Amino acid sequence: MKLNIRSCRQTFVVFGCAVVFASYAWAADAGKARQISQGDKAKISGVILSRNGDLIRVRDKKSSQEVVVQIGDKTEVERTKTRFPFYRHANMDVTALLPGLKIEAEGVGNSSGQLAAHRISFSPDDFAIEVAEEQQVLANKSATQQAQTSADQAAQAATQAQSSADQAQQSAYGAQASADQASQQAQTAGAVGVADAQAVAIVNQRVSDLDDYKNEFEVDVFFAEGSTVLNDAAKRDLTNLAEIAKSLDGYMVEISGFAAHHKFTTAEDQKLSEERAAAVAEYLLEARNIPMRRMLVPVGYGITHPVASNENAQGRVLNRHVDVKILVNKSVGQGM
């Protein structure tokens, strides 16, 4: 199967970011996590179970215990050598620390019994492959629905043609043939969907369930045609959002970029949406001091999910935007 890495990036957050990522709640009792004595050095390797701001819960592969890892300003986050291209901006590696990702973390115990990480490393390969597989499953499901719709429409045409005069008989035969063909396509696509159901369930467990988070605040910032430059209004809105975010415990920022199909190709619109999302992330980091580790993977959705029609100028203006949300885990304050 040929992997569409751009689709991987989209799906990586749609089912999040899109989407983002947590299949385990933060409501687990504090005593469930392994306590690391203050000052003791430790190194763990395992899968991220959930995330709450600067804290991530990891199931250590060796001990099978859960460990809470604290990410700080001095934490070095890096991806190991990978077969696939990952994010365009290397300084956004920390945004990839989401549930489902396998990581290695080393550091020392802090006063809360957590592992204050000096260094975290990860390889996105396995996760990228699973997301790409899920993308294919979704395509299969879409094909099933489309084929079934075609079958229903063709069957209806066949019925209508059959009830017509003799001169319409040939049309009825043709419509029935189309119905049979479409029905076969639907059955085939459906069979593939059933076969992949288990794979979908596995991946869905590793992808964030946004029901675990509540949207505390949201803004849309808009861009000129073909531009990735933030205007004064956008900067004011992002400044306000940043101040609200800093007043909340355990916040995360979700950034989703979009474009409007008009003068550019689909590939150019996709790139524009990604660069717009990246521009927002960079502004929040550099101008408003929002740590990159507090951001979910900034993602571009191209011309998908338009909020208005692209057939008129006003609609295209609305579609050239980046949606920015402040998310807070619903279990904040219930312990780690």
Give the pLDDT confidence score for residue 93 in this predicted structure: 77
Give the range of the structural domain holding residue 233, as residue numbers without chain letter. 210-329
Question: What is the rounded CA–CA span in Å between residue 190 and residue 152?
Answer: 15
Match 């973390």 to its residue by tokens.
105
Is residue 334 in some structural domain?
Answer: no
Total domains in the fold of the chain: 3
**Which range is least confidently modeled, 22-26, 67-71, 104-108, 131-135?**
22-26
pLDDT tens track for 252-261: 999 999 999 8
Q: Where are the beta strands (DSSP E) in 140-241?
A: 213-222
Contacts of 31 (CB under 8 A, 6+ apart): none
Kindly state whether residues 95 and 166 are assigned to the same domain: no
**d(Cα 109, Cα 70) in Å, to the nearest integer?**
10
pLDDT of residue 322: 96
Question: Which pLDDT belongs to residue 259?
Answer: 92
CA nearest to 315, candidates 225, 244, 239: 225
For residues 68 and 54, the answer to whether their CB atoms sit within 8 Å is no
- Nearest alpha-carbon partner for 21 in 319, 279, 296: 296
If DSSP codes are grouped into helix, strand and coil, which group holds residue 230? coil
Indicate if 251 and 290 belong to the same structural domain. yes
- The CATH number that applies at residue 236 is 3.30.1330.60
pLDDT for position 51? 84
Residue 10 and residue 119 share a domain: yes
Residue 100's pLDDT is 77
pLDDT > 70: percent of the chain: 59
* Percent with pLDDT over 90 in the chain: 36
pLDDT at 50: 83
d(Cα 33, Cα 59) in Å, to the nearest integer? 9
- C-alpha to C-alpha distance for 281 and 278, rounded to whole angstroms: 5
User: Which residue, 205, 236, 265, sits at the end of a domain?
Assistant: 205
Over the stretch 176-190, which tens digit does the pLDDT of each residue have? 666 666 555 555 444
Q: What is the pLDDT of residues 195-245, one digit of tens each?
A: 344 444 444 444 444 557 788 999 999 999 999 999 999 999 999 999 999
* CATH number reported for the structural domain that contains residue 28 in this entry: 2.40.50.320
3-state secondary structure of 326: strand
The pLDDT value recorded for residue 181 is 60
CA distance 71 to 106: 11
- Say which residue, 24 or 324, is predicted with more confidence: 324
Query: Per residue in 59-85, pLDDT tens?
Result: 999 999 999 999 998 999 888 766 544
Helix (H) or strand (E) holding 149: helix 125-162
pLDDT tops 60 at residue 128: no
- At residue 43, does pLDDT exceed 90? yes
